[in-house]
Amino acid sequence: MPALAIAVDLGGTQIRAALVDEQGEVTRRVAVATASAAGPAAVLEQLGSITSSVCDGVAGDRILGLGICAPGPLDTIRGNALGVPTLAGFVDFPLRRMLEERIGLPVWLENDGVAAAIGEWRFGAGRGWANVVYVTVSTGIGGGVVSDGRVLRGRQGMAGHVGHMTIFANGIACACGNGGCWEVYGSGTAFVRRARARAEADEATSLRRNIVYVDGAAVFAAAANGDALAASLVAEEADILGIGIANLLHLYSPDVVVIGGGMSANFDVLYPGVAARVRSAAMVPFRDTRIVRAELQDNSGLIGAAAIVFDAHRSGGADRPCHLPERRAEHPAAAADAS
């Protein structure tokens, strides 16, 4: 029987778990509402229970381990949640170790954006490329980076927090505390916020009829029906996404940028505006970089989390990609500062 990995996507609203095989096929999937306000002990209990449920009837020796992804910031090197805004009590919480003790299997923890990047790189729209930037545009903006054929991790595994780069300096306040982040301008949440505000002031738009129920899909639908305000909102959203993507080209020089998350449902509508901004904002040698839609839908993270387990197993378990040792302390200043 082929080997399997348990994959878990721990979100603020849902915990999703799946069994995934080495070809990235999701063979079983379950979901529960996250007890997000109840604290780490309750969530651990949920994780144990959903893991048992997804493995029910499967021979234990087929299961190599569990890959779990969650919103950052996480210290994926040590396996700790540093402070997940949507999960009460997940502050400096040793999630990997606690979960290993709970389920008796090796666990790998990864940022959800990075896990989705790995999924798309291995089995989706980034397949075959050495340099992949994945961006999820949804409630927020997250992402992950593969560079020179390796997952970019950085200190504490925190590289790739693309949503919190400032693109409008001193701009609108972001939930992270900064002003002007890409996320607070370009996320699906921001798109809907602008749509509601502008619809209030625009007598001609069809969006006015039911402003409090306006969501992203409604704006795209209105734009498709010729609503001028909706079309301008879509154009503005595409432009904002293009500004951030052009930055990522200069910073990471990917072969391909893969766009996922809820907003990617309308990728084809957004693409011309994104590409136009990239052409004007990126230096010439970067302009021909592919920008494509994610292929694994909402399974990117699960499939990526499982891929981490298989990779670690293939390399003999010694090289846990999420537990890279940090190099330290040859430098006198480093030695003095390290704690």
In terms of Cβ atoms closer than 10 Å to its own Cβ (0-12, 13-18, 19+), residue 2 is: exposed
> Which among 7-15, 49-57, 128-136, 187-195 is the span making contact with a copy of itself, rule CB under 8 A?
128-136
Q: Does 136 bind a copy of itself (CB under 8 A)?
A: no
- Nearest approach in angstroms of CB 47 to a copy of itself is 23
Among 157, 188, 261, 273, binds a copy of itself (CB under 8 A): 157
Among 30, 31, 158, 221, binds a copy of itself (CB under 8 A): 158
Q: Does 148 bind a copy of itself (CB under 8 A)?
A: yes
d(CA 281, CA 284): 9
Tokens 């197993």, located at residue: 313
d(CA 15, CA 3): 23
For a copy of itself, give the closer residue by CB, 41 or 251: 251
Among 78, 102, 127, 313, binds a copy of itself (CB under 8 A): 127
For a copy of itself, give the closer residue by CB, 224 or 251: 251
Q: Determine contact, residues 31/16, Cβ cutoff 8 Å.
A: yes
For a copy of itself, give the closer residue by CB, 49 or 189: 189
For a copy of itself, give the closer residue by CB, 150 or 314: 150
d(CA 155, CA 249): 21
Using CB under 8 A, which residues numbered 22 to 41 contact a copy of itself? none
Collapsed DSSP state (helix, strand, coil) of residue 203: coil
In terms of Cβ atoms closer than 10 Å to its own Cβ (0-12, 13-18, 19+), residue 21 is: middle
d(CA 235, CA 49): 45
For the CA atoms of the chain, what is the radius of gyration?
A: 21
**In this structure, which amino acid lies at residue 147?**
S
- Nearest approach in angstroms of CB 228 to a copy of itself is 22
d(CA 128, CA 20): 20
Among 162, 207, 307, 309, binds a copy of itself (CB under 8 A): 162
> Which among 46-54, 120-128, 190-198, 308-316 is the span making contact with a copy of itself, rule CB under 8 A?
120-128
Q: Determine contact, residues 65/108, Cβ cutoff 8 Å.
A: yes
| Alpha-carbon dihedral sign for residues 22, 24, 28, 33 | positive
Among 161, 198, 293, 320, binds a copy of itself (CB under 8 A): 161
Q: Does 235 bind a copy of itself (CB under 8 A)?
A: no
Residues that bind a copy of itself (rule: CB under 8 A) add up to a total of: 68
For a copy of itself, give the closer residue by CB, 101 or 319: 319
Q: Which positions from 66 to 105 touch a copy of itself by CB under 8 A, shown as an x/- string?
A: -------x-x------xx----------------------
Q: Determine contact, residues 5/63, Cβ cutoff 8 Å.
A: yes
Q: Which positions from 262 to 301 touch a copy of itself by CB under 8 A, shown as an x/- string?
A: ------------------xxxxxxx--xx-x---------
Q: Which residues of 93-120 are buried (b: 16+ CB within 10 A; e: fewer)?
A: bbbbebbbeebebbbbbbbbbbbbbbbb
Enumerate binding residues for a copy of itself (CB under 8 A). 73, 75, 82-83, 125-131, 147-150, 152-162, 164-169, 176-179, 240, 243, 246-247, 250-256, 280-286, 289-290, 292, 324, 326-331, 333-335, 337
